[in-house]
Structure 1
Amino acid sequence: MSCVAILSEFASHPQAISFTVAEGSKNWVCTVVYANPQMDLRQQVWAHLWELGGRVTLPWLVLGDFNEILLSTECRGGRFSMARASQFLEVLNECNLLDMGAKGLRFTWYRNQRGVVLAKRLDRAVCNVAWQAMFPEAYVENLCRVYSDHYPLLLRREGSREKSQDRPFRFQAAWATHRDFEQIVREAWCRSTPTLANGL
């Protein structure tokens, strides 16, 4: 049985819109981004996300076209800017957002410039730990494009139907930065469960 989601605007910006999703007992914030292709104007959306990071107290999902990459492996052709990637990473870290990764195609944007193919992973979904805990099976697929030079993202919250019930435990390094990390692990370890993963 599916629930009806109620959306209400949380914040808006020329390069992003955020809304609160109320879906049964689950409440979370979704921000959809279209970062400006011009680097100097893109700074404005980084500042907006930074400000939002200080206000959002619910589980938070941010997705869309960031017009930036994090790693040199996320591009083919063209130049990789470590300074710009570091700035993008700093914004994600300050907002406590984790990259969700993606299945399917490696790049989400392609362009043929004078016979040279440029490809980058400009589009992605990131979320905070609370959103990941709310939807632990969620994943992203990079789909095939039709008309645009961008490939669309498909976010699936339920997880893959092919997955078995027994999922491997995955540790997120960001968990270790939580102020109560040691206490939570200690309490989980002391419970009468066979593994730490089950104790959490």
Structure 2
Amino acid sequence: MDYKLCYNIEATGHSGGIWVLIATSCSATTSEFASHPHAISFTVVEGSKNWVCTAFYAKPRVELRQWVWAHLRELGGQITLPWLVLGDFNEILLSTESRGGRFSLARASQFLEVLNDCNFLDMGAKGLRFTWYRNQPGVMLAKRLDRAVCNVAWQAMIPEAYVENLCRVYSDHCPLLLRLDGSREKNQERPFRFQAAWATHKGFERIVKEAWCRSTPTLANGLQAIRTDAIKFNK
């Protein structure tokens, strides 16, 4: 398959850099929406679907990352279309997204605030649990630094979309593969997965309580009721 380069930001040394390519056979059209030294945002139009995609790279240095967070918040105030952001956020939300090293609750809270301010949902991922690996003396560090997030409008527009964390080859990061059609799962029931973003929504606790109280008082029935209502809540 042939590709053409649409937009790019060159790397600094061995870090950063963003290339946006599109297959020559693709029927979608793109136009640049906004540019930043660490993010490229562009509109995608294909048939009746019209949305914004942001290819993203956050600085590994914490003090410089605030500049990139500010850009996301600024975009959040401008974008009214369905919106998807994917790339290397260089940050984690939960202690379970890290193996080895220290977990910073303060930094995770700042990251969560950014996602909340932009009304983002974490899309989760299939495949590998972590997306970044590095050997340190006596320990292998691993973190989920790369992810895709979207607003509710984007998820409602393409509900079958999901992300796969693929195996890394040359980089210490794993590639992310975003599948829009969910073709692997059209003929089978999708497994239920709890989304961490639900717990940050002020209305989700009520969903859980009402589902639990409505069900026959056994653990299995309670969890099944919560599963059903959580899926409706997610939509």
Q: What TM-score range do you get, normalising by the shorter chain? A: 0.7 to 0.9
Paired with 1:103 and 1:14, the residues of 2 have a C-alpha distance of 30
Q: Which residue of 2 aligns with 1:114?
A: 137
Q: 1:169 to 1:73 in 2, by over 3 A?
A: closer
1:91-131 deviations in whole A, cap 9, x for unaligned? Answer: 00010000000000000000001231100000000000000
Report SS of the residue matched to 1:9: strand
> Hey, what does 2:65 align to over in structure 1?
42
CA distance in 2, matches of 1:166, 1:105: 21
Gaps of 5+ in 2: 1-24, 204-227
| 1:17-166 equivalences in 2 (<5 Å) | 17-164=40-187
* Cα distance change on mapping 1:125 and 1:147 into 2, 3 Å: same
- Percent identity among equivalent residues? 81
Q: Quick one: distance in 2 between partners of 1:67 and 1:175? A: 24
Deviations 1:140-186 (A, max 9, x none): 00000110000000000101424436668999848876xxxxxxxxx
CA-to-partner distance for each residue in 1:12-38, whole Å, 9 max, x for gaps? 111111000011111000001110111
Q: Distance in 2 between the 1:86 and 1:175 partners?
A: 14
Unaligned runs of 5+ in 1: 178-194
Whole-Å separation in 1 of the counterparts to 2:98 and 2:194: 27
- Provide the alpha-carbon RMSD of the alignment: 2.5
Instruction: Using CA pairs under 8 Å that are at least 6 residues apart, name the structure with larger relative contact order, 1 or 2.
Output: 1
Aligned partners of 1:3 and 1:24 also within 8 Å:
no
CA distance in 1, matches of 2:193, 2:171: 35
Q: 1:168 to 1:64 in 2, by over 3 A?
A: closer
Using a 3 Å threshold, how does the CA distance of structure 1 residues 167 and 117 change in structure 2: closer, same or farther?
closer
Q: TM-score, normalised by structure 1?
A: 0.82
Which SS does the other structure have where 2:53 is aligned? Answer: strand
TM-score of the aligned structures, taking structure 2 as reference length: 0.70
Q: Structure 1 stretch 60-69 or stretch 154-163: which is displaced more?
A: 154-163
